[in-house]
Structure 1
Amino acid sequence: MKSNRKILLLLGAITAYYVYLPIPEEIEEKWKLMITDSFFRSLSHLADLSERLGLKDYMGVMMFITFAERVVPATDERVRVTEEVFDGVDVVVYEPGQQGGGRELKRAVIYMHGGGWCLGSSRMEPYDLLARTMVSELNAVVISVEYRLAPAHPFPAPFEDVYRGVRFFLQGHVLARYAVDPGRIAVSGDSAGGNLAAAVAQQLLQEPDQQVALKAQALLYPVLQVLDLNTPSYQQNQAMPILPKTLMVRFWSEYFTSDKTLFRAMMTNSHNSPESAVLFKFVNWSSHLPESYRRAYRYSAPRPDSGGGGAGSPSSSPPFRAIADPRASPLLASDGSLSTLPKAYILTCEFDVLRDDGVMYAMRLRGAGVNVTHRHYSAGFHGALMFTVWPTDFQIAHRMTEDYVSWLRDNL
């Protein structure tokens, strides 16, 4: 009996040590977050081991999250759901049911799911519920885009899928089919989906034949730049759930290539080429971040690759060159190209490595004359908006959803 008790105590101690994280006091429901994060960390460790043993690649194992939360979007009395193909891109279309006002023209939200470009699906339960909420609360049509995922389909494939899908939807005859008002359309997304939404909004302005313009963009804790992975929020939150720095860097590197050379360079912030140095001004957080976010951190420009960018240098390879592409890093767009963008809602969380990306984009957009609503959650953590389903439902997630939908109601 004593031996059994010792074993149980040891197992309890190991479990407590593994689950416990020094989470800031400001975060609500800390123990729920610790337990939730312990699942993600366990799966990440398993994925690492699997890749090291040559059994299955890291992202292949992490896709379990996507499969575990997958649902079959179905029509109910309030929402009609159909699965369509827009110019070769799978989408899930949510429309108001018969009680939604018939054929009167409606708002539309084109939504891009998160997951670091490597994971996730519009058919996951949290995204399905969010789409239904928008349909019901806004009497809107919601288009959830099911883009191809890296590393099997690296950049620019996910962006190109989303862009093709959006362009297809914005055609006059397609909008008429869904009874959508051409003057009340928004793009939106969370995390990597926010990246894609911002990039699409910028790219549409480059099309001279684009007749339908977006009215709004809503970016939820978006990832917007890869030039500097040592911003204050990356330093402050490098070990925070649900998105530690190592995982975000892995997402970034695998978005471009499965070559681990890029991952190692990104971890030391030495992945830029000398040619990209002219773009550092767009991510210079000493000028684009308010002092309250900079705090005691000291700015130093990212260190360019020592290879010099010449032939044979890592920085001369396509994945390294893609780092400077605004379609991958929307924060790198010039001031002039930002000025004609639609009004924006940008949600950021204090305890998120991506916090400063969103804050800097809000600052740059405002400086360019764009109407910006920046909603910062001082107790927020990355991915919070998606935790609305028991047992991982968080009060802050419901507040975020209410604020986001309220903004769309007032601005779309």
Structure 2
Amino acid sequence: MRSKAVLLFLVLGAFTAYYVYSPIPDDIEERWKLMLTDCFFRSLSHLADFSELLGLKDYMGVMMFITFVERVVPVSDERVQVAEELFSGVEVLMYQPRQERGAGEMRRAIIYLHGGGWCLGSSRMGPYDLLARQLVTELNAVVVSVEYRLAPAHHFPVQFEDVYHVVKHFLQVDILDSYKVDPERVAVSGDSAGGNLAAAVAQQLQLDPEQHVKLKVQALIYPVLQALDLNTPSYQQNQHMPILPRTLMVRFWSQYFTSDKSLFWSMMANDHNSPESAALLKFVNWSAFLPESYRQAYNYSAPPIAANETPKGSNGPVRSMIDPRASPLLVPDAVLRPLPKAYVLTCEYDVLRDDGMMYAMRLRQAGVDVTHEHYSDGFHGALMFNIWPTDFEIARRMANNYILWLKENL
């Protein structure tokens, strides 16, 4: 009987070790901590798949547990004043310095857009609350953290429109003045899907003839920027990497556009392009816009063009994915040239690495002042792993470098 118990213990131990272990590159710091963190995310993802299969709750409904478990109640403290506001009907959290640094001194402002694949996340999550407080205290800045609506309850372009309305509202001269913000020192920034929204907002503001107050900088943290080619070298190299495997990123894209599950499988096969998107593939030709060292052994081939008809109506998924408000990488150089100074952060072990690299190169070729900071030991989402027990040293390095760049350029 005892031998059976020992055998069962060994089997369970071996199964647990097999499940927890994932092949993580040696140059990533704190590998075991990342393995354990990834084990939680994978377990939740499996539970979400199982729940959806049984018809209990949809996948993203279960994955929202991540958002809920990290949710905090943002409160004021001795250095930072926090308030909930509505800007054009959209919820925002306003973070402001409590202490004045100088009589009549005007402040910087950062409009921050959280990540989460347009389906998850919240400005009220602990990591975003902590980052906002750091920006306030170290930059004497006002931070506008936007609580935009999420998919799949709300599909594109709702998320973009929420954010754009907030930015337009905040950039009114009288609103800026009420928060003591210098109209020449305003930034838009975001991570992952938030980086996508930040890039799209920066582009659309430049095209708006009624917009007089301009952004000074845009800061994009491992942004997702295009939906046409989901088989770039970084998508191939990092398809099973924590925290954002290729399957999850494709799921985010498909649910951003539609609840029709067929789009997911089409995007997984990378055969979702249409004759309408074919002309735009030149903007995501990674053989032209990636440094040779990042192409590695991968040979470029343009994604196939499906013969099926484009869905009717401007809200069809195919039309959505070629809309620059969803895929900011697809705009011509003429739209890039007037954009504000940019900071682009990319991570080596991230399916979105090549999106950010191609955008940084295209911006630079268009004459935009770009700082491209690449973390050779970085993984997707690293900046937000700043709270125990998932506090990583790389998160501190990223935050310090990001804030330093804002201090010098905003």
Range into which the TM-score falls when normalised by the shorter chain: over 0.9
Paired residue secondary structure (2:347)? strand
In structure 2, what residue type is equivalent to 1:411? N
Matched, 1:396 2:394: yes
Matched, 1:98 2:96: no
- Cα distance in 2, alignment partners of residues 202 and 272 from structure 1: 24
Q: Which residue of 2 aligns with 1:3?
A: 4
Q: Which residue of 1 aligns with 2:294?
A: 293
Matched, 1:405 2:406: no
Q: Which residue of 2 aligns with 1:387?
A: 385
Paired residue secondary structure (2:280)? helix
Q: Is the 8 A contact 2:80 2:97 kept in 1?
A: yes
- Cα distance in 2, alignment partners of residues 118 and 159 from structure 1: 13
Cα offset, 1:98, TM superposition: 2.3
- Cα distance in 1, alignment partners of residues 311 and 86 from structure 2: 42
Alignment of 1:3-402 (within 5 A): 3-101=4-102, 104-307=105-308, 309=309, 318-402=316-400
- Distance of aligned partners of 1:270 and 1:102 in 2 relative to their CA distance in 1, 3 Å threshold: farther
Q: Is the 8 A contact 1:59 1:118 kept in 2?
A: yes
In structure 1, what residue type is equivalent to 2:356? G
TM-score of the pair, normalised by structure 2: 0.98
Q: Is the 8 A contact 1:26 1:379 kept in 2?
A: yes
TM-score of the pair, normalised by structure 1: 0.97
- Cα distance in 2, alignment partners of residues 155 and 135 from structure 1: 31
Cα offset, 1:104, TM superposition: 2.1
- Cα distance in 2, alignment partners of residues 311 and 68 from structure 1: 38
- Distance of aligned partners of 1:72 and 1:363 in 2 relative to their CA distance in 1, 3 Å threshold: same
Q: Is the 8 A contact 1:116 1:191 kept in 2?
A: yes
- More off after superposition, 279-288 vs 2-11: 2-11
Question: Deviations along 1:227-250, whole A, 9 cap, x unmatched?
Answer: 000000000000000000000000
Paired residue secondary structure (2:298)? coil
Q: Is the 8 A contact 2:311 2:318 kept in 1?
A: no
Question: Deviations along 1:50-82, whole A, 9 cap, x unmatched?
Answer: 001000000000000000000000000010000
Q: Is the 8 A contact 1:78 1:99 kept in 2?
A: no
Q: Is the 8 A contact 1:113 1:145 kept in 2?
A: yes
In structure 2, what residue type is equivalent to 1:343? K
Paired residue secondary structure (1:90)? strand
Cα offset, 1:101, TM superposition: 4.3
Please give the root-mean-square deviation of Cα atoms over the aligned residues, in Å. Answer: 1.3
Q: Is the 8 A contact 2:314 2:320 kept in 1?
A: no
In structure 2, what residue type is equivalent to 1:374? H
Q: Is the 8 A contact 1:77 1:97 kept in 2?
A: yes
- Where does the alignment leave 5 or more consecutive residues of structure 2 unmatched? none
- Cα distance in 2, alignment partners of residues 220 and 115 from structure 1: 13
In structure 2, what residue type is equivalent to 1:173? D
Cα offset, 1:100, TM superposition: 4.5
Cα offset, 1:287, TM superposition: 0.3
- Cα distance in 1, alignment partners of residues 104 and 132 from structure 2: 20
- Distance of aligned partners of 1:119 and 1:133 in 2 relative to their CA distance in 1, 3 Å threshold: same
Paired residue secondary structure (2:189)? strand
- State the identity as a percent: 70
Q: How many residues of Structure 1 are paired with residues of Structure 2 in the alignment? A: 409
Question: Deviations along 1:103-148, whole A, 9 cap, x unmatched?
Answer: 5210000000000000000000000000000000000000000000
In structure 2, what residue type is equivalent to 1:360? M
Q: Is the 8 A contact 1:273 1:316 kept in 2?
A: no
- Cα distance in 2, alignment partners of residues 177 and 37 from structure 1: 44
- Cα distance in 1, alignment partners of residues 399 and 306 from structure 2: 41
Cα offset, 1:8, TM superposition: 1.6
Q: Is the 8 A contact 1:191 1:222 kept in 2?
A: yes
Paired residue secondary structure (1:98)? coil
Paired residue secondary structure (1:258)? coil
Question: Deviations along 1:241-280, whole A, 9 cap, x unmatched?
Answer: 0000000000000000111111011001111111211101
Cα offset, 1:310, TM superposition: 5.5
- Cα distance in 2, alignment partners of residues 298 and 199 from structure 1: 29
- Where does the alignment leave 5 or more consecutive residues of structure 1 unmatched? none
- Cα distance in 2, alignment partners of residues 56 and 266 from structure 1: 23
- Cα distance in 2, alignment partners of residues 391 and 101 from structure 1: 38
Cα offset, 1:282, TM superposition: 0.4
- Distance of aligned partners of 1:52 and 1:372 in 2 relative to their CA distance in 1, 3 Å threshold: same
Question: Deviations along 1:370-411, whole A, 9 cap, x unmatched?
Answer: 000000000000000000111111111100000000000000
In structure 1, what residue type is equivalent to 2:393? Q
- Cα distance in 2, alignment partners of residues 336 and 311 from structure 1: 29
